[in-house]
A and B are shown apart, each in its own frame.
Chain A
Amino acid sequence: MKRFLRVFAAFALVCTAWTASADDLVARGHYLTLAGDCDSCHTARNGQSFAGGHVVPTPFGAVTAPNLTPDRETGLGGWTADDFYHAMHSGKGHDGTSLYPAFPFTSYTKVTRADTDAIFAYLKSLPPVKLAHTEPALRWPYSMRSLMGSWRLLYFDEGEYQPDPKQSASWNRGAYLVQGLGHCNECHAPRNTFGAMITDPFVAGGLVPVQNWYAPDLSMGPNGGLSGWTEADVVALLKTGRSRKGTAFGPMADVVIRSTQHLNDSDLAAMATYLKSLPERAPPRQHESAADAADLAKTGQKVYADQCAGCHAADGRGKGDAYPPLDGNSSVVEPTGINAIRIVLSGGFAPGTAGNPRPYSMPPFSQTLSDDDAAAVVTYIRQAWSNKAASVSPNDVRAYRSIPGG
């Protein structure tokens, strides 16, 4: 009897340990899905978590994100951990078809097997939801999936992240998160004609296709988009949505709300450590300004004094935690001028996060500023103080009048 009890106790212990480690695995997987911002695409607006249905717009057509809940017919119910790793690592579906790179396997290939297993365990723990998959609506010839073979040969570099032994553990963790699950380069880099992201230079800034917001260069070195930022500023932005140097808006606001604010401090610090090590950039080419740019900027200075200086200050340094500086702000001086135009027209709140739950906001000026005045004030802030970016025209403003969120 005693022996039986002892065996039973041992068995119970093993069971508890096993359940606890399974719980740990699921919890770790959940955290990793936050780092990967998976549910931004795999949850439809007002839809059930991870049940898919969100449409990702691409220049080649719409791709609907699939259902990742463990429903047997419409979700991952029939998938094994190997299948899932194959999708993340190699960009291949359950049945061996090549996945389209709207799913960023080009970055996720860096994720370790242990981490994809944890993510898979988490997804398997979700309540199954029946929601049939919608096939991508791509234009010909992109609708021919067979073309993905050549695309992969040209643009897909398969392989898990390899730590650099010369760098610290924190640097390696940061590089792993930024290059892999964080898939930062998918937005913060230009894409070529075939939609492949440019990886060299890495995270050097690019226009987000279709959404038309400019994701700035992330180098913190000389001439970098985040030049003058400290690692603490980067952590503050990722954790709260705002920093001494700038505020997240547009698609990045969504990334902060759904993903980065949930990461722990050591992971955020690691990402900042890695970004800090990015190489300095070449001095920007002096952009050509329109012939009437000086007149525009002069009008803009008056608009600025009347409408903007109250919050952003006459010297463009912003005010406290509430209103970001415009002098040296990467989103003001980014090459296209689109971000500043859209923010002037639409205003908006800084992201509401646990660290900044009651954000300040900027009024939309679309109803009060004409195309001419908006172009003037954007030209002024792009060329005032230490800023040296090209002018924008009233036509540029007109293009963004009717699409606030994009």
Chain B
Amino acid sequence: MRRLFRRLVISAAAFCAMQAMAAETSPVPDTLVQRIAACTSCHGEHGEGGSNGFNPRLAGKPAGYLHRQMQDFQRGLRHYPIMEYTVGPLTDDFMREIAEYFSAQDVPYALHDVPATSPAAMARGEQLATKGDSARAIPPCMACHGPNLTGVQPDIPGLVGLPYDYISAQLGSWRTNTRNTVAPDCMKTIVSRLSDADISAVSAWLAQRPVPENAHAEPEGSLTPPLRCGVLGGGT
């Protein structure tokens, strides 16, 4: 009996030791998700976006758009220190692979708070997004970002489900020259025609808008943008 007990104890100890060794030496998963911990820790494992207003959702955004943003950070056209630092040492192929990963993710949208906005400002925001302001040569957001503002493959991002803080910060950054891209930069042209109040209004309207049931980007070629844009291959 004592022998049996001893044997049991020894085999249990050996089992525990093996378990511990397995935990210590378990191989690192050879997956893209494991490799891009630097991305997912802020943007979420499926690119669902951070809980604050500034780590945007990446899931489902067109791959060409996401790839372009990484290239722009790397080339110093778009400025955001931690992003410039993070994508700095990556090869173009790897950035493309990362872009495709996040683009293929399909996860529910989070809801974000919208700051108190007057009905007049909300109406102005809706006008800018849906009809534009021809007197100031401002095309509507929908002219490029799609009739449901869900973006167009492969280069135009959707504007749905984004927090107010993120949208207004991006519009502001075109103004302060911290977000640039290949010329001609049509978003820069458009933003130069917006007033401060316009930026708040359109950001609030976009942020409060419910996410449509089908939030996927429109197919390639389904829209003809009203401006010539470098990011859409209209560069010189």
* Contact A322 B89, CB 8 Å, known A359-B35, A405-B84: no
B76: A residues at CB distance < 8 A: 45-46
> Which of A84-92, A176-184, A193-201, A362-370 participates in binding chain B?
A362-370
A361 CB–B CB distance under 8 Å: yes
Q: Does A83 contact B (CB under 8 A)?
A: no
Closest chain A residue, CB of each to CB of B50: A367
Return the CB mask of A310-321 against B: 1 if under 8 Å, else 0.
010111000111
User: Of B77, B94, B97, which is in contact with the most chain A CB atoms at under 10 Å from its CB?
Assistant: B94
Question: Is the C-beta of B14 less than 8 angstroms from some C-beta in chain A?
Answer: no
CB 8 Å contact bits of A367-406 with B (1 = contact, 0 = none): 1100000000000000000000000000000000011110
> Does A174 have its Cβ within 8 Å of any Cβ on chain B?
no
B38, B77, B84, B89: the one contacting A363 at CB < 8 Å is: B38
CA of A123 to CA of B169 in the docked complex: distance in angstroms? 43
Give every chain A residue within 8 A of B37 (Cβ-Cβ). Answer: 347, 360-363
Compute how far the CA of A353 lies from the CA of B81 in the bound complex, rounded to whole angstroms: 22
B108 at the interface (CB under 8 A from A): no
Query: Chain B residue with minimal CB distance to A248?
Result: B89
Contact at A364–B81, with CB atoms within 8 Å?
no
Q: Assess whether B11 is interfacial by the CB under 8 Å rule.
A: no
Q: Does B34 make an interface contact (CB < 8 A)?
A: yes
A317, closest chain B residue (CB): B24
Return the CB mask of A185-196 against B: 1 if under 8 Å, else 0.
000000000000
| Interchain nearest-CB distance for A101 vs B (Å) | 26
The answer on a CB contact under 8 Å between B82 and A364 is: yes
- The answer on a CB contact under 8 Å between B35 and A361 is yes
Q: How far is the CB of A179 from chain B (nearest CB, A)?
A: 26
A296 within 8 Å of B (CB atoms): no
Residues 12 to 66 of chain B near chain A (Cβ within 8 Å): 24, 27-28, 32, 34-42
Query: Which B-chain residue is minimally distant from A368 (CB atoms)?
Result: B41
Contact B38 A358 (CB under 8 A): no
Closest to B87 in A: A349
Residues of chain A within 8 A of B41, CB atoms compared: 347, 363-364, 368
**A191 vs B81: C-alpha distance when bound (angstroms):** 28
Chain A residues within an 8 Å CB radius of B5: none
B38 near A349 with CB under 8 A, answer yes
Question: Is B228 part of the binding interface, using a Cβ–Cβ cutoff of 8 Å?
Answer: no
**In the complex, which residues 316-353 of chain A have their Cβ closer than 8 Å to any Cβ of chain B?**
319-323, 346-353
Query: Are B94 and A348 closer than 8 Å at their CB atoms?
Result: no
Interface residue? B86 (CB, 8 A) = yes
Interface residues of A in 213-254 (CB under 8 A from B): 241, 249, 253-254
Taking residues whose C-beta sits less than 8 angstroms from the other chain, chain A's interface range is 35 or more
Please determine whether A405 and B85 come into contact, CB atoms closer than 8 angstroms: yes
A350 to B28, CA, bound (A): 15
A367–B42 touching, CB < 8 Å:
yes
B176 at the interface (CB under 8 A from A): no
Question: Given A358-B97, A361-B37, A367-B42: A404 and B81 within 8 A (CB)?
Answer: yes
B36 surroundings in chain A (CB, below 8 A): 361
Contacts of B86 in A (CB 8 A): 346-349, 361, 364, 404
Q: How does the 8 Å CB contact mask read for B79-105 relative to A, with 1 for contact and 0 for none?
A: 001101110111101100100000000
CA of A253 to CA of B39 in the docked complex: distance in angstroms? 18
Specify the chain B residue showing the minimal Cβ separation from A364: B82
A284 within 8 A of B: no
Contacting pair B89 A46 (CB below 8 A): no
**A45-B75, A346-B82, A360-B28 known; A352-B94 Cβ under 8 A:** yes
Question: Chain B residues near A241 (CB, 8 Å)?
Answer: 89
Beta-carbon contact of B38 and A364 below 8 Å: yes
Separation of A320 and B35 alpha carbons in the complex (Å): 13
Q: How long is the Cα–Cα vector from A13 to B55 in the complex, in angstroms?
A: 64
A352, B82: Cβ atoms closer than 8 Å: no
Closest chain B residue, CB of each to CB of A402: B81
Indicate if the CB atoms of B28 and A319 lie closer than 8 Å: yes
- A320 and B28 contact, Cβ closer than 8 Å, known pairs A347-B41, A363-B41: yes
Shortest Cβ distance from residue A182 to the other chain B in the assembled complex, whole angstroms: 20
Q: Is the CB of A349 within 8 A of B90?
A: yes
**Given A323-B28, A358-B94, A348 and B77 touching (CB < 8 A)?**
no
| Cα distance, A357 to B96, chains bound together (Å) | 12
Give B residues with C-beta under 8 Å from A. 24, 27-28, 32, 34-42, 75-77, 81-82, 84-86, 88-91, 93-94, 97
Give 6 nearest A-B pairs by CB, closest first.
A363-B41, A361-B38, A405-B85, A46-B75, A404-B85, A352-B91
A residues sitting closer than 8 Å to B (CB atoms) are 45-46, 241, 249, 253-254, 257, 311, 313-315, 319-323, 346-353, 357-364, 366-368, 402-405
Subset of 25 A-B contacts with CB under 8 Å: A46-B77, A253-B88, A254-B89, A315-B24, A320-B27, A320-B28, A322-B34, A346-B82, A347-B38, A351-B89, A353-B91, A359-B35, A359-B90, A359-B94, A360-B28, A362-B37, A363-B38, A363-B40, A363-B41, A364-B41, A367-B42, A368-B41, A404-B84, A405-B81, A405-B85
